[in-house]
Amino acid sequence: MAAAVQLLVVAAAACCAAMAAAATVEETWDVEYILWAPDCQQRVMIGINGRFPGPNITARAGDVISVTMNNKMHTEGVVVHWHGIRQFGTPWADGTASISQCAVNPGETFVYKFVADKPGTYFYHGHFGMQRAAGLYGSLIVLDSPEQPEPFRHQYDDGGELPMMLLSDWWHQNVYAQAAGLDGKDRHFEWIGEPQVDKKHIAANVVVAVISGDREPCQ
């Protein structure tokens, strides 16, 4: 036990030293209920700083990411998980509710601070209840550095940067109805409704044309 504790202390000290020497990317978030209409049907969602999806975070490998999260929701706690970040030396920043972190209560603030340890395309999301499905997510891009080059750059067609696209299922039913169906006593894992798709146009191979920066207006 003593050896394990000593190892943890050494890892934490090394992490703190790395943070002290690195550049820092800082964000301040208000996590709150918002009214939003991603597909022209307005509903209550969880947004960050009044918007959906959450802000894109871009850092370079080795940078420190520091996010001050204010829980502005009145009725539920919140945590954020940084999907793909290994959290060496900072397990308390992993954002897994009731495992590595207690939920941040309404009106409280928590600072997530960790090292973006390797290049890659990641995302963050709510990890408490159905908060990811309610809209609490966004992208996290970690660029390469001289010390950590991009391992797959040679596979790009032109050697340049690939565009980033963030995709997710979408339900018109609210997440509380979804949770009730999934947690039911008699019939577990019962989805309420289906993701919103046009079943007449579902095909085995779908080609989607995307224009960078375009937001199709509601009709």
Using pLDDT thresholds of 50, 70 and 90, give the confidence band for residue 145.
confident
Length of the chain: 219
List CB contacts of 27: < 8 A, sequence separation 6 or more: 55, 57, 65, 66, 67, 68
pTM flag (> 0.85): no
Residue 138 confidence (pLDDT): 96
- Asked if residue 186 is part of any domain, the answer here is no
pLDDT of residue 21: 58
pLDDT tens per residue, range 6-44: 544 444 555 555 555 579 999 999 999 999 988 888 889
Give the total number of structural domains in the chain. 1
Q: Which residue has the tokens 């079943």?
A: 199
| Residue among 45, 65, 44, 62 nearest 53 (CA) | 45
Residue 213: inside a domain: no
Q: Which domain holds residue 102?
A: 2-170
